[in-house]
Amino acid sequence: MDPDAVKSTLSNLAFGNVLAAAARDYKKEVLANEKAQGSRPVNEEVDLDDLMDDPELEKLHADRIAALKREVEKREAFKRQGHGEYREVSEGDFLGEVTRTDKVICHFYHKEFYRCKIMDKHLKTLAPRHVDTKFIKMDAENAPFFVTKLAIKTLPCVILFSKGIAMDRLVGFQDLGAKDDFSTMKLENLLVKKGMLSEKRKEEDEEDYEYQESIRRSVRSSANVNSDSD
């Protein structure tokens, strides 16, 4: 399949997704208003072709684009502060890392401990999905000062910092069912409950995953049609 055609298809799908979402929002508003007025049945269809030229829909689309732009700018600002990835930090850099941002999750680990490697895997998955929280790790053997100051006795130990203050911690897998096979979602839900991750961000990521899956299905379908036509 022509690579330029694929890019064009993805671009059109992305733009179409924004318009379709705005159209759905507007359709809901129209139907809600008509239900309140009792002017016609709630389940009556609204022609999306007619909506495309509607000034209210254009405003919804513009507002959505502006919101997306603000979100991108916010995420880029976080990334400049070291968010969006799961990083190793040294003892010398530790204080600066945890005091220069609101929410920080720090994993104190030992490189030979199997359970520390399990925690690493899950935190590495969560870091790019929750850019508003910083994810870091530190080798406990190379950080004796902070291991003592934070009274870390068991590894893995995940310390949860809010504005530079250690507010809570996860010791081993006690809060995760005390089993090695807990899911990333279980850890994510726990961190949401403790106020370290955004529930809204979690929902947006799930919607984004579904959207990306729909794009992949559409591209595969298009590729199959072109293959059959050949």
CA angle 59, 63, 66 (to 5 degrees): 140
> For the segment 185-216, what is each residue's pLDDT rounded down to a tens digit?
999 999 999 999 988 655 555 555 555 555 55
Average pLDDT over residues 92-106: 94
- The tens digit of pLDDT for each residue in 7-64 reads 444 444 444 555 555 556 666 666 666 665 554 444 555 555 555 566 776 777 677 7
User: How far, rounded to the nearest angstrom, does the alpha carbon of residue 150 sit from its chain's CA centroid?
Assistant: 29
| Distance of alpha carbon 180 from alpha carbon 172, whole angstroms | 10
Q: What is the pLDDT of residue 66?
A: 72
| Structure-model confidence comparison of residues 32 and 95, the more confident one | 95
80 or 207: which leads in pLDDT: 80
Q: Sheet with 165-171: list strands edge to edge.
A: 86-88, 134-139, 103-109, 157-162, 165-171
CA dihedral 27, 28, 34, 38 (to 10 degrees): 140
User: Cα–chain-centroid distance for residue 42?
Assistant: 35
**Res 13: pLDDT:** 43
- Tell me if the pTM is above 0.75: no
pLDDT tens digit sequence for 137-168: 999 999 999 999 999 999 999 999 999 999 99
